[in-house]
Chains A and B, each alone.
Chain A
Amino acid sequence: MKISYYPGCTLKNHAKNFEDSTICSLNAIGVEVEELNRWNCCGTVFSLTTDDLIHHVAPIRNLIRVKEANYEKVMTVCAMCYNTLKRANERVKSDPESLDILNDFMDREEVQYDGDVQIFHLLEFLRDEIGFANLAQKVVKPLKKLKIASYYGCLLVRPKEIGFDDMENPTILDDLMSVLGADSVDFPFKTECCGAYQTVDKPDIIADRTNQILTSTMDQGAEMVVVSCPLCAFNLDQRQKQTVEKYPEFKHMPVMYFTQALAIALGCPEETLRFDLNFIDPKPILKEKGLI
């Protein structure tokens, strides 16, 4: 099977560990990944004002690229790209007039877009197309005895129209971690916002949230946290530096992309895991469990 893949910019630099572990995992289960040609940034945030059409140009142009590559569906792994591409698509589908304006704006594109590309997230793909039961058969190194807390953040689950799991109590990541052989740990801040882009000019707020979210995972006995968004990852991992400065009693917690956990379980070589890009080193706990 071959699928079209939209990486987004952060997966090409700060989150290369997210991309490499994704591609290795998909290859390990026999899925070929074709990166979209000439993709551009999705714009990161979906525009919330009614008249702000210009900011939908970026996501919609990416969907034109999908059509040009002769695909009907495109996969994302960054939760934020997923959210923005999917919402922009829903918006033009429900408002043909705005779609006409956007097509006119991009009148040199050879493809006229008509709202028909499907955007899906890697988690959905694994659950619905591969099937967790089939995936379980491909696990060569079960994440035995590793206690993992799954952090969903906002963008995979909200708003309801684009989420692919229960908005208040999602389980898809927990289910995946169980399939990989880990002990999934529940905690109350799974879908609580980490503060997102406030990290740029108000890192202090992030220190509060990271302290609250990660301390709660520790209280529930977690040894590792997994995420699906490079912004959550930055706030929960890199910002532990600021967190411990503000809260000296705070204990460090390793944070990985869920695809790094997946890649370990599927037997991907260590160089595809790119632990050098994780701030809190996940290797000690992984070694302790005999996983690397």
Chain B
Amino acid sequence: MRINLSRKKIRDSFVDKVQELSGQNLLACYQCGKCSAGCPAVMDMDILPNQIIRFAQLGFKDELLASKAIWICASCLTCNARCPKGINIAEVIEALRQILLRNREDHLKVENLSDKEKEDIPPIALICSMRKFTS
């Protein structure tokens, strides 16, 4: 993958916004990779949790907001539990989803669910999914 670093990206308000919404200090990360090692969802992710943190530090807004990974993460908090630097990675990923959702870019298309699915799937799952994936 070709990567372009620039001062402009690093100083973009996007980085501040992610830190603010997540309440996390992105620069605390020293890229040990423990978050990705324990994440049960990595096989379906295009950008791994430790890479998400690195990309966020560097202001890679477009890559992060277009990634599949942020919608694969299920906020299971395994990464948070294991980060030796006390970073809440799940909160950073939540901030990325929220940046999109707050602009009404929903991930879950409720209208695509059939009546049968809506009946079979318990409320606990439907409500969670709507809370996490719709604005």
| Distance of B37 from chain A, by nearest CB (Å) | 13
A176 close to B (CB within 8 Å): no
Count B interface residues, CB 8 Å. 40
Instruction: List the A side residues contacting B117 at CB < 8 Å.
Output: 200
Judging by beta carbons under 8 Å apart, are B78 and A199 in contact? Answer: no
Query: Residue-by-residue, is B66-88 near A (CB-CB < 8 Å gives 1, otherwise 0)?
Result: 00000010111110110000001
Question: Among the interface residues A9, A48, A192, which one has the most CB atoms of the partner chain B within 10 A?
Answer: A48
Q: A45-B131, A193-B74, A197-B132 are in contact. Are A234 and B80 (CB under 8 A)?
A: no
| Partner pick for A200 among B21, B76, B95, B129, CB 8 A cutoff | B129
Q: A48-B75, A154-B78 are in contact. Are A193 and B40 (CB under 8 A)?
A: yes
Judging by beta carbons under 8 Å apart, are A160 and B81 in contact? Answer: yes
| Distance of B96 from chain A, by nearest CB (Å) | 10
Instruction: List the A side residues contacting B91 at CB < 8 Å.
Output: 48-49
Q: A159-B77, A159-B81 are in contact. Are A48 and B94 (CB under 8 A)?
A: yes
Instruction: List the B side residues contacting A52 at CB < 8 Å.
Output: 98
Q: A193-B78, A238-B120 are in contact. Are A48 and B126 (CB under 8 A)?
A: no
Q: How far is the CA of A55 from the CA of B80 in the complex (A)?
A: 21
Closest to A193 in B: B76
Instruction: List the A side residues contacting B90 at CB < 8 Å.
Output: 48
Q: How far is the CA of A154 from the CA of B77 in the complex (A)?
A: 7
Further 8 A-B residue pairs, CB within 8 A, beyond A200-B129, A201-B113: A41-B127, A45-B75, A192-B78, A196-B125, A196-B128, A197-B74, A197-B132, A200-B126
A-B contact pairs, 17 of them (CB 8 A): A13-B123, A44-B131, A45-B131, A45-B132, A48-B94, A49-B22, A49-B98, A51-B20, A193-B40, A195-B40, A195-B74, A198-B74, A198-B129, A199-B125, A200-B121, A200-B128, A201-B109
Interface residues, chain A, with chain B CB atoms under 8 Å away? 8-10, 13-15, 41, 43-45, 48-52, 55, 78, 80, 154, 158-160, 167-168, 191-193, 195-202, 205, 208-209, 229-231, 234, 238
Interface residues, chain B, with chain A CB atoms under 8 Å away? 20-23, 40-41, 43-44, 72, 74-78, 80-81, 88, 90-91, 94-95, 98, 108-109, 112-113, 117, 120-129, 131-133
